[in-house]
C-alpha cells in the first residue's frame, strides 16, 4: 500500500473539497512535501486514516490546509513508522500549516504509537483548532526546534494509553518560537511528565489562556528544570499519582539569567497522599515566579524531626535569587508543615488570605 494523497514539489495551487480521503493499512493518508510556495487547500473535505502512518507535512514553503482529520489505530495495528500521528517537519519561514474542523468537533488522533502530534525543525506558522488525543502510547504533543509559531485556537484534551516514562503529555525542546493554547488544555494520565520543560534548551513563550488541567501523571504535572522558557498559565488545576515527584517543580528556570519567567493566574494543586516530597517545589530560580493565587492541599508523609533534606511540605521555596510572588496563598496540610522558605536569596511576597 502507498500514500493516499500526495503533493510533492513545485508551487501548487490545489483545492480539494467535499470528498473523503480514506487510508487503511500502510502508507500516509496525506503527504505534502518539498513545495516552494503555493497552497494545498483541503477545506470541507475529510481525512480518515485507520492503521496507517498518519499525516506528514515535510519541507514545504507554502500553505497547507487540512480539514476534519481522524487518525485511529485498531487492536490489530502494527506500526511501520515511529511518527504515525500528525508530523510537521522542516520547511521555510513562509510555510503555513492549518488543521481545521468544519464538520467535526476536533482533530482526532487515537492510539498513536509515536507522538500524536510532532512538530520538528519548523520555522513557519502551525495552527490547529480543537484537538482530541486519545490512548496515546507516545508523547501527546512533541515540539523539537520550533523557531516559528504554533497555536491552538480551541480546546485540547489528551488521555494516556501505554506511554513510556520518557513520553510526556507535552514535551518541548530546543524551541525559541511561541506556542499558545487559546482554549483549555487537559492532560489525563501519563507515565512520564504532564507538561515538560526539562533541560530542553528552550527560550520561547508557552502560554495557555484557558484552564490547564493535569491529573494522574506518574511524574510531575508541570516541570521546569534547567530550562529558560517563558511560561504563562491562566487558571490551573494540577495533581499527580506520585509520592516521590512534586506536582509542580520549578528548578533553575532561567539557568542563571533573568529570562524565563513562570506565571500562573490562579493555581489549585493537590498532592498525592503519602508524598515524601513537596507538593510545590520552587528553587534556584533567577527569573520571577509568580502566582495570582496558589491553593495547595497536602496530605504528605508525617513530619519527622529532624526533617529530611527536602521535607514533604505543601510549598517549599528554596535558594531563589529572583522573586517568588504569591497574591493569595492558601495551604491545607495534614501531618506535615504547610510552607518553608529556606536559604532566602530573594523576596517572597505573600498576602495572607
What is the Cα–Cα distance from 153 to 163, expressed in whole angstroms? 26
Decide if 84 contacts 53 (C-beta within 8 A): yes
The residue count of the chain comes to: 353
pLDDT for 83 equals 95
Sign of torsion over alpha carbons 62, 90, 65, 30: positive
Q: Has residue 9 got a pLDDT over 80? A: yes
β-partners of residue 163 are: none
78 vs 334, which has greater pLDDT?
Answer: 334
Q: Has residue 353 got a pLDDT over 60? A: no
List, for residues 286-308, the tens digit of each pLDDT value: 999 999 999 999 999 998 877 78
pLDDT for 349 equals 52
Q: Has residue 263 got a pLDDT over 80? A: yes
Question: What mean pLDDT comes out for the span 183-187?
Answer: 98
DSSP 8-state code for residue 248? E
> Which single residue is written with the C-alpha cell 516514562?
165
Question: What mean pLDDT comes out for the span 52-74?
Answer: 97
Cell of 252: 533553575
Q: Has residue 347 got a pLDDT over 80? A: no
Question: What mean pLDDT comes out for the span 61-73?
Answer: 98
Select from 194, 186, 189 the least CA-distant residue to 161. Answer: 189
Question: What mean pLDDT comes out for the span 135-144?
Answer: 97
Predicted TM-score (pTM) of the model is 0.95
Amino acid at each position: 500500500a502507498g500514500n493516499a494523497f500526495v503533493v510533492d514539489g513545485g508551487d501548487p495551487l490545489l483545492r480539494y473539497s467535499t470528498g473523503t480521503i480514506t487510508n487503511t493499512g500502510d502508507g500516509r493518508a496525506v503527504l505534502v512535501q518539498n513545495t516552494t510556495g503555493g497552497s494545498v487547500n483541503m477545506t470541507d473535505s475529510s481525512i480518515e486514516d485507520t492503521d496507517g502512518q498518519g499525516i506528514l507535512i515535510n519541507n514545504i514553503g507554502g500553505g497547507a490546509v487540512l480539514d476534519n482529520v481522524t487518525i485511529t489505530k485498531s487492536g490489530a495495528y502494527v506500526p511501520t513508522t515511529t511518527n504515525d500521528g500528525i508530523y510537521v517537519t522542516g520547511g521555510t519561514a513562509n510555510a503555513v500549516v492549518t488543521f481545521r474542523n468544519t464538520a467535526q468537533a476536533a482533530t482526532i488522533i487515537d492510539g498513536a504509537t509515536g507522538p500524536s502530534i510532532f512538530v520538528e525543525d519548523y520555522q513557519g506558522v502551525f495552527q490547529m483548532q480543537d484537538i482530541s488525543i486519545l490512548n496515546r502510547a507516545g508523547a501527546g504533543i512533541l515540539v523539537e526546534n520550533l523557531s516559528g509559531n504554533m497555536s491552538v485556537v480551541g480546546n485540547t484534551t489528551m488521555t494516556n494509553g501505554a506511554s513510556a516514562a520518557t513520553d510526556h503529555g507535552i514535551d518541548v525542546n530546543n524551541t525559541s518560537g511561541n506556542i499558545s493554547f487559546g482554549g483549555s488544555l487537559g492532560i489525563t494520565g501519563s507515565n512520564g511528565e504532564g507538561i515538560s520543560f526539562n533541560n530542553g534548551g528552550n527560550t520561547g513563550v508557552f502560554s495557555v489562556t484557558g484552564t490547564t488541567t493535569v491529573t494522574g501523571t506518574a511524574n510531575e504535572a508541570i516541570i521546569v528544570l534547567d530550562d529558560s522558557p517563558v511560561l504563562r498559565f491562566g487558571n490551573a488545576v494540577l495533581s499527580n499519582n506520585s509520592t516521590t515527584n512534586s506536582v509542580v517543580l520549578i528548578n533553575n528556570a532561567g539557568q542563571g539569567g533573568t529570562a524565563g519567567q513562570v506565571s500562573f493566574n490562579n493555581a489549585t494543586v493537590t498532592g498525592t497522599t503519602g508524598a515524601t516530597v513537596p507538593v510545590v517545589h520552587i528553587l534556584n530560580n533567577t527569573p520571577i515566579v509568580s502566582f495570582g493565587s496558589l491553593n495547595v492541599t497536602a496530605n504528605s508523609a508525617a513530619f519527622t524531626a529532624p526533617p529530611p533534606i527536602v521535607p514533604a511540605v505543601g510549598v517549599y521555596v528554596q535558594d531563589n535569587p529572583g522573586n517568588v510572588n504569591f497574591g493569595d496563598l492558601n495551604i491545607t496540610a495534614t501531618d506535615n508543615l504547610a510552607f518553608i522558605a529556606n536559604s532566602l536569596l530573594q523576596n517572597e511576597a505573600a498576602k495572607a488570605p
